Every structure is written in C-alpha cells, then in structure tokens.
Structure 1
C-alpha cells in the first residue's frame, strides 16, 4: 500500500513570530479563493522547488480548507530519493511540521500592545506550495503518516513474524533446529 503523509500545512488563527520583525496569523478561509481559481499547488521538500513531492494537478496532493486549517494529503513517490526521505523522516517524526509559500492579497496590520511586535492577519492569499520541513515557522502545523499506512506496516510486520514462527516450527519438526 502506498504511503500517505497528511496533516495541517496551515492552522488558522495560530499566531507566530516572523523573523523577530512581526507576528502573523492566517484567517479561516484565507486560501479558499486561491484553491478555487488557481488550484495547481505543489508539495515540496523544505521550500525547495527542485525537490517536488506532489502536486494537486497530478492527483498526488490533496488540499482541503476546514475550520481548523489547510489539511493536506500527500502521496510521495516511493521510487524517488526525495519520496523515500519524506516517508522516512515523517515516519520517525524527525519532520513533523509544515510550512507554505504564498502571496498576500489582503491583510490587516495591528500595532502591538505593551512592547509586542505588530500583528499581520492574512485574510486572503494565493497559495503556491506546501512544504514538509523540520523547522516550521508555525509550530502547530503537523505531518504524519496516515493510520492506513501504519496499519499496513503493522500488518506487514505481523505477517513477517508469523512467517518466521512458521518456518522455525517447520524446521523443528524436521529436526533441523
């Protein structure tokens, strides 16, 4: 069974610090228009356009905006080095977050209170890419292998253990072990 990496590339209304210059949060539905009108979005490894992992137009990346954030489902190619890197590092949880590349179309700026940095709220943006990254700016993002992949791994491992036990039992019957 093919592996599926899924999670939230964006968590709406989650605030983060952008390079010590300002705070930022993304409003619910900020990418809805972009997903309707420019639906070809890439999945990348660490914002690197030379390392694509999936694409909405090819059916290897699914995106859905809900009340929590921008959910993604990525089907990385297990025959490529980058696909295997994505699967392996997410499986081990060395990489468990996401980032995203976008162009702001509409935003609101508020001055910070009591020495806080200014706050930018992105109300509408064009989404270009989502990315798996070990150091996401938004720490509430997530990436994990789906339960279907883990269930498949568990079934494979269980079948392997049963085969080993059966082989050992057959060897004992023959007096080999």
Structure 2
C-alpha cells in the first residue's frame, strides 16, 4: 500500500552536546508507536537507507515550523546517519535567537523530543493485523525533515488515517460487510 503523503512522527531522544550543538535519535527502530487513530506502526531497520543514500536535502526545524530552520544537510549543519538503533543526527545550531533559546530549553531538559516528516514510496510500508491490532511497518521512508519538539507525541495522525483508510478499503473491497464492521 502506498500513501505518498507527507507524514510526521515523534519520538527519539535529544541532548545538548555543547552550547551550539544537539544530537540524538530522530527515530528509533522496531519500537511500536502509540495508537495513531486505529493503528500502530514501527520503523524497521534500514528504512532510511535509500533516502540517505539519495542525499536529498533534509532540514532540521523547530516544532515543524518552516520559518524556524535550525540546519540542513545541504549546508552541512545537519548530519544524519543510520545505525542499529535508528536515525541518528548531529545538528550545529545557528546563532539565531530562537535557536539559542532552544539550546537553553534542551539543556535544562524542558524540551527533549524529536520528530520527523516523511513520505512513504510505493511498496515502502506493510499493513497487517497482529494480535487484533492493525499494524503498519515502515520499510522505506523518504525523509524530508527532522524537528525538535516539546511535544514528542504523534501530532499529525490525520494524514496517517487517510493512509490507513486506503489500506482498509483495499483489504476489504471484496467483502463489504467486513468493511462496514471494521469502520463502523
């Protein structure tokens, strides 16, 4: 199933390495998410490999705000890598007011969450019901952004819900009664 729709997920860990540098994990592999509106998901190891290899520009943002850019892979101020744990990042903060304020908040522990925005290409995910729970495995992700956030929950599940409804429609197209029972 393909969504090709921009999605956002939160989690990972964040820490201040020095006064102007943050590092941590924007995503962690093989951990189930919270309920995202009728399903859970997990990121499989290697999900970012193609995206990182393609070297498409990725931005680091503050609270998914395009006006508060913290760095980018294009400028070399954001470094991303995939290891056994997940998507690791190192970010050199700019000398902007909002970035310096952010650094203080991270150092104090007031902000500790990470999030990322992505698109799933065709064949990049797998949906199945496990122990009665609809589960989505993210296998191949096209990364667009990582973001530092004070709210490391999953803030944007509407896009994912559309993706889930497409799965359900395809899964139960031949059995309308099952579709009605599943979706209410």
Could you state the TM-score of these two structures normalised by the residue count of structure 2? 0.69
Map 1:147-158; keep pairs closer than 5 Å: none
Aligned residue in 2 for 1:113 = 131
Tell me which structure has the larger Cα radius of gyration: 1
Asked if 2 retains the 8 angstrom alpha-carbon contact of 1:16 and 1:137, the reply is: no
Could you state the TM-score of these two structures normalised by the residue count of structure 1? 0.71
Aligned residue in 1 for 2:37 = 20
Map 1:16-165; keep pairs closer than 5 Å: 16-77=33-94, 79-105=95-121, 106-114=124-132, 116=133, 118-137=134-153
Asked if 2 retains the 8 angstrom alpha-carbon contact of 1:40 and 1:56, the reply is: yes
The number of residue pairs the alignment matches comes to 135
Flag the 1:125–1:76 CA change in 2: closer, same or farther, 3 A: same
More displaced stretch, 37-46 vs 67-76 = 37-46
RMSD value, Cα: 1.6
Partner SS for 1:90: helix
Asked if 1 retains the 8 angstrom alpha-carbon contact of 2:20 and 2:100, the reply is: no
Partner SS for 1:21: coil
Higher helix share: 1
